[in-house]
A and B are shown apart, each in its own frame.
Chain A
Amino acid sequence: MHRRLMVKQLVLATGAYLLLPACRENEHRSSLTLHNLKIEADEEALLAELAETILPKTDTPGAKDISAHLFTLVMVDDCVKKEDQQKFMRGLKDFRKAAKTRLDKPWEETTPEQRHAFVADLDKAKKDDGDLHYFYSTVKRFTVQAYTTSQYFLTKVQVYELVPGRYHGCVPLKPAPQTTL
């Protein structure tokens, strides 16, 4: 249960991982070795459910489908300052405690509806400098970033053109039909 996430080639592994949404089935997932963070398997699972609560699977993919929680871990591990990594880890523990207090049971045993209610309140709560808020806003920021830069989003929602092959300086703005997500 308390297995440590291990991988040798973090960058390569995560790069490949993010390209292969089919790998999301937990049993077959290659795991991450993090350089700085110590993340237990249950903490990774919590992050996955939190990301999924922020961006749930509907008719369209959710956060888990694009491994947003793993992207979050890679970013916090590689691109965040040490003191903020510590804040993130403290916040993660605070989050678990706060959820348990509020929902009266461990995070793992809650329903998607209960998780939504808890996270929606957290999202609306007044921002402060506390660890819990830092943790939550960091997870949300990286989850949204993972989602809006995912292959799904950039090919189906807002199409990214690698090779536009044209430039027209001034054309009428045609209101694009609202895409649904």
Chain B
Amino acid sequence: MGNNNQFDAIVIGSGISGGWAAKEFTEKGFKTLVLERGRNVQHLKDYPTTNKYPWEFPHRNQVPQADRDENPVVNRCYAYKEDAMHFFVKDKEHPYVQEKPFDWIRGYQVGGKSLLWARQTQRWSDYDFEGPARDGFAVDWPIRYKDMAPWYSYVEKFAGISGNRDGLAALPDGEFLPPFELNCVETFFRGEVAKNYKDRHVIYARCAHLSHPQPVHLEQGRAQCQNRNLCQRGCPFGGYFSSNSSTIPWAQKTGNLTLKTDAVVDSVIYDDAKGQATGVRVLDAHTKQATEYFAPVIFVNAAALNTNLILLNSTSKRFPNGLGNDNGLMGKYVAFHNYRGHVSAECDGFGDSIFDGRSPTSAYIPRFRNLVKQETNFLRGYAAGFSAGRGRINNNEGIGQELKNNLASTKWGGWHVGSHMMGETIPKETSTVSLDSKKDEWGMPLLKINMAYDDNDEKMVNDYHEQLSEMFAKAGFKNIKTNDSKQAPGLDIHEMGGVRMGKDPKTSLLNEWHQLHACKNVFVTDGACMTSTSTQNPSLSYMAFTARAVDHAVKELKKGSLV
């Protein structure tokens, strides 16, 4: 070979994990090809709405009805509004098959969903990694917190994570930039919970924002978070972490990155004679023309479910059911997070207090249920978000001068509080993604998705409602209301699994280093690798998995090979 299509490493996908793979490989001197199926989105240059004022949006940030009718799934996403809709995949353009309702939210562009994420970053602890072993579901993780801790530190320092050192076993501390503040009522609730419960904590929610940038962040061209809270538009300050603002330009600076956009990966090429993967087959998104690229190591970071799709579609004589899928478990044991439960209330008092500016995050209640031991009639537990706020009273009464007076009113309403749950769901063999017989316009099989809530999830929603209501009542909050959104799986945007890690090649697809057991030069470090889901927002773990796996791959390659 030795041609333009030969690289030292290929990374499929440029989202939060693909960006990290690109950074790590290029920094280590590897000529790296990153394949992105969507268009390029360059930091600063391709954020068309980022500096717009509310009156500059023709529909004042509302999505037109025709778009809502054509794309009901993506329209259910909280961030799909006029200011950011150009960063989301439309249902109509990229169909999939819902054997059971599943809201699949996707971002096909350089940066993927790292442009759009909610930027919450919590480490896993051994309470999370040891869940399957303790409770007997899924399979045991082949790694523990001690394996991950140095890599969490490594990625946190570069990405920039703002947080408090809370000293909680359930949620290990990290390399934190200073936190932003909690507001008056969030701080009050934190105190009330500490008074009423020994094992429950309200903390500042750790997030990927530069509260106080360090030299390594300035070197990336990023500046301090300016509290705009318009992150989904792309940040002109690089105040939050995204592939676009951080890892991709960093990789570009090494001179070792080739970023190929509009490149739809059809499959990973397996060479039966060599007994390893040799490259990737790519279709031009516009011309549909196929091209092959080659490298001794391939990272599949296409986002959890699309990584499943590519690997299942990578068939060969050796692997007729998908690359590395000897045990037939690829695409099985997929799961997600249960975000159905909400609790709201009102808080009397603090009428003479307010916050000033906007906070990019709020408060967080780490998992307290079934943490140390099994104590309820359901497995595992949930974390919860918590926030408090107040706004000006809207008064649209009357017409003429009366209405004008009402609109100009500066009267403030009272404080309201709210919480949402983030529950662990149990990966099951019956929860699957698979290839449909129908094909898309690139000739790729449509992904068929089949997962649903189960009895464990229903019990967990009830328990969350009960426990948070009790915590609210003990804090003296009034008018406590619970709500079950009944939203379909997927809207949590935390789909995981299908190519799970494990110790035993008979019951898992990936080893402790994220290599396919049966094809060791192919790595999966995005959400597809997840053996269980726990309750944390997963992106930080994907970053750490990726940096650790690239380190391993490079060491092995330097020793000789990855076979």
Cα(A26)–Cα(B253), bound, Å: 54
Cα(A55)–Cα(B401), bound, Å: 7
Residues of chain B lying within 8 A (CB to CB) of residue A168:
181, 355-357
B392 x A158 contact (CB < 8 A): yes
Q: Is A18 an interface residue (CB 8 A)?
A: yes
Complex A-B: 27 CB contacts under 8 Å: A11-B58, A54-B399, A54-B403, A55-B404, A56-B400, A60-B404, A75-B62, A81-B65, A116-B399, A116-B400, A123-B399, A148-B407, A149-B55, A149-B60, A154-B53, A154-B54, A157-B407, A165-B226, A165-B227, A167-B181, A167-B357, A168-B355, A170-B184, A170-B187, A171-B354, A172-B354, A178-B410
Q: In A154-168, which residues have CB < 8 Å from any B CB? A: 154, 157-158, 160-168
A167 x B407 contact (CB < 8 A): no
Residues of chain A lying within 8 A (CB to CB) of residue B354:
170-173
Indicate the size class of the contact surface on chain A: 35 or more
Known: A55-B403, A165-B226, A178-B410. A170 touches B355 (CB 8 A): yes
A169 x B186 contact (CB < 8 A): yes
Q: Chain B binding site: helix, strand, loop or mixed by DSSP? A: loop
Known: A154-B55, A164-B357, A167-B357. A79 touches B62 (CB 8 A): yes
Q: Is B64 an interface residue (CB 8 A)?
A: yes
Q: Is A33 an interface residue (CB 8 A)?
A: no
Contact code string B478-517 (vs A, CB < 8 Å = 1, else 0)? 0000000000000000000000000000000000000000
Partner-contacting stretch, out of A39-47, A100-108, A139-147:
A139-147
Closest Cβ of chain A to B189, distance in Å, is 13
Q: Is B379 an interface residue (CB 8 A)?
A: no
Q: Which of A14, A58, A162, A173 contacts B351 (CB 8 A)?
A: A173
A14 x B405 contact (CB < 8 A): no
Closest Cβ of chain A to B396, distance in Å, is 5
A167 x B408 contact (CB < 8 A): no
Closest Cβ of chain A to B386, distance in Å, is 14
Give the number of residues in B that approach A within 8 Å (Cβ atoms). Answer: 48
B410 x A179 contact (CB < 8 A): yes
Cα(A153)–Cα(B51), bound, Å: 18
Q: Is B76 an interface residue (CB 8 A)?
A: no
Residues of chain B lying within 8 A (CB to CB) of residue A147:
407
Residues of chain B lying within 8 A (CB to CB) of residue A179:
408, 410
Minimal Cβ-Cβ distance residue in A for B63: A79
A123 x B398 contact (CB < 8 A): yes
Q: Which of A10, A148, A160, A173 contacts B352 (CB 8 A)?
A: A173
Closest Cβ of chain A to B236, distance in Å, is 9
Q: Which of A11, A148, A167 contacts B356 (CB 8 A)?
A: A167
Please indicate which of the listed interface residues A162, A178, A180 has the most CB atoms of chain B within 10 Å of its own CB: A162
Cα(A15)–Cα(B66), bound, Å: 18
Residues of B within 8 A of A (CB): 51, 53-60, 62-66, 180-184, 186-187, 226-228, 230, 351-359, 392, 396, 398-401, 403-405, 407-410, 412
Minimal Cβ-Cβ distance residue in B for A10: B58
Closest Cβ of chain A to B16, distance in Å, is 25
A180 x B405 contact (CB < 8 A): yes
Minimal Cβ-Cβ distance residue in B for A50: B399
Q: Is A151 an interface residue (CB 8 A)?
A: yes
Residues of chain A lying within 8 A (CB to CB) of residue B51:
162
Please indicate which of the listed interface residues A145, A161, A172, A181 has the most CB atoms of chain B within 10 Å of its own CB: A181
Residues of chain B lying within 8 A (CB to CB) of residue A175:
410
Cα(A58)–Cα(B410), bound, Å: 20
B55 x A166 contact (CB < 8 A): no
Cα(A168)–Cα(B353), bound, Å: 11
Q: Is A80 an interface residue (CB 8 A)?
A: yes
Contact code string A17-34 (vs B, CB < 8 Å = 1, else 0)? 011000000000000000
Pick the 8 closest A-B CB pairs, nearest first: A169-B181, A170-B184, A181-B404, A167-B357, A164-B357, A181-B408, A166-B357, A168-B356
